[in-house]
Amino acid sequence: MSGVARSARQWRAASAGNGVLFLLIALLIALTLGMAQLEPLFRALFPDLGNPLYARDSFLNLMLAHIGLVLVSSLISVTIGIAAGLFVTRPVGREFEPMVSSLAAIGQTFPPAAVLAIAVPLAGFGFAPTIIALSLYGLLPVIQNTIAGLGTVPQTTLEAARGNGMSRWQILRRVELPLAMRVIIAGIRVSVIINIGTATIGSTVGAKSLGTPLIAGLVGNNLAYVIQGALLVGLLAIVTDLLFERLERRYSFGGQA
């Protein structure tokens, strides 16, 4: 009986969560497409500003560019991060584990602005240096969680997999990765959320993103621009986080949940 009651409660909680998620997604889309409709509001809030609505580019373009930056950099972080995590947990790469971990940690201690400053002379202005900075910045959580996630797979489970005649590759694909997936996804989640926020500073070196109105607002002392950019970045981060939470939940098995 208690099991039934619990699952009913979980179901209600989940459906309430769904409601919040859909509401936030709707709000994000509405603001992205219809920020211009709020011009009277911003005019009322900031009567001193001659131009209270950022209009040099559409917010849809900025949003898509921002998502593009995050997607590309996260894809790079995740690919390199998981590959590195896998490498150092295999017998051949085990001795590189401390080195890879500290390299990734160093990548995180650099302020992204500093990485941008170094990347610009190497890669020029715009998209490329931003991608480099974001990819480096997002690497650590992915590597760390890949190593940690693979470490949670019980030794007895691995022994059973070997004892039943699975090859190394089959053990990795059928047992280790599925069991580690929840922790790995948690790492990707942190990495992506960090990058959604950090991508805004790409605008300082000319990459188009939701940071563009933000930076313009800061430079031109236009608080309305800052709010418009920050609102969308914040919403995007929250929605993404909720989506990842959902994805993580799919990979919990019994005792681990």
**The binder of other proteins chosen from 30, 57, 90, 253 (CB under 8 A):** 253
**The binder of other proteins chosen from 2, 15, 109, 156 (CB under 8 A):** 156
Nearest partner of 133 among 114, 158, 159, judged by Cα? 114
What's the count of helices (H) and strands (E) in the chain, helices before strands? 11, 0
Tokens of 195: 């990058």
**Shorter beta-carbon distance to other proteins: residue 74 or 146:** 146
79 Cβ neighbours under 8 A, 6+ residues apart:
none
Nearest partner of 132 among 155, 113, 147, judged by Cα? 113
Query: Is residue 161 near other proteins by the rule CB under 8 A?
Result: yes
**Shorter beta-carbon distance to other proteins: residue 50 or 255:** 255
Rounded to an integer, what distance in angstroms lies between the CA atom of residue 155 and that of residue 194? 33
**Shorter beta-carbon distance to other proteins: residue 146 or 191:** 146
- Give the range of 22-30, 69-77, 81-89, 169-177 binding other proteins by CB under 8 A: 169-177
- Residue for token digits 């236009």? 222
**What region does 57 belong to: left with phi over 0, alpha with psi -120 to 50, or beta?**
beta
Rounded to an integer, what distance in angstroms lies between the CA atom of residue 202 and that of residue 129? 8
**The binder of other proteins chosen from 36, 159, 220, 246 (CB under 8 A):** 159
- Residue for token digits 């209600």? 12
**The binder of other proteins chosen from 10, 18, 61, 167 (CB under 8 A):** 167
Compute the least distance from the CB of residue 106 to other proteins, in Å.
35
Number of residues that bind other proteins (CB under 8 A): 21
**The binder of other proteins chosen from 41, 113, 157, 173 (CB under 8 A):** 157
**Shorter beta-carbon distance to other proteins: residue 43 or 162:** 162
**The binder of other proteins chosen from 170, 197, 242, 248 (CB under 8 A):** 170
**Shorter beta-carbon distance to other proteins: residue 102 or 157:** 157
Query: Is residue 175 near other proteins by the rule CB under 8 A?
Result: yes
Compute the least distance from the CB of residue 161 to other proteins, in Å.
7
CA angle 201, 206, 207 (to 5 degrees): 70
Interface positions, 177-196, toward other proteins (CB under 8 A): 178-179
CB 196 within 8 A of CB 70: yes
- Residue for token digits 């089959």? 170
**Residues that bind other proteins in the complex, under the rule CB under 8 A:** 154, 156-157, 159-167, 170, 174-175, 178-179, 253-256
